[in-house]
Amino acid sequence: MRTPEGKLKDKVKAYLKEKGAYYTMPVPSGYGMPMLDFVGCYKGKFFSIETKAPGKRPTPRQQQTLSDIQFKGGGFATWADSWEGLKPLLDTFFV
């Protein structure tokens, strides 16, 4: 049985596939640069998405990674703990 976070990841994967986005899901190893659940490119624009179980928030390291992607790199980075909260954000980027 899938966890709530796993179900949210499945919805994100289906959405990205529908949009034709290139993405990968890095395997955390504890070495190198921190990364979020989804990393990809859509129409030449970088994006990264962190999914969480309902009621959970990004760790301080994940929050820093979100900020670095947005403000240092100029990419789209977001997180969510529900599809209802995430889909409107994705719809603004994946046009």
* The CATH number of domain 4-26+36-93, selected from 3.40.640.10, 1.10.1140.10, 3.40.1350.10, 3.60.15.10: 3.40.1350.10
**Six token digits for residue 65:** 């990674």
In the predicted model, is pLDDT for residue 35 greater than 80? yes
**Confidence class for position 28, pLDDT limits 50, 70, 90:** confident
Say how far apart CA 42 and CA 52 lie, in whole Å: 22
Is this prediction's pTM over 0.95?
A: no
Domain definitions of the chain by residue range: 4-26+36-93
Q: What is the pLDDT of residues 48-95, one digit of tens each?
A: 999 999 999 999 999 999 999 999 999 999 999 999 999 999 999 999
* 38 close to 16: Cβ distance less than 8 angstroms: yes
Q: Cα dist. 5→24, 50, 69 in Å? A: 17, 10, 22
Please give the single-letter amino acid code of residue 52. K
**Three-state secondary structure call for residue 38:** strand
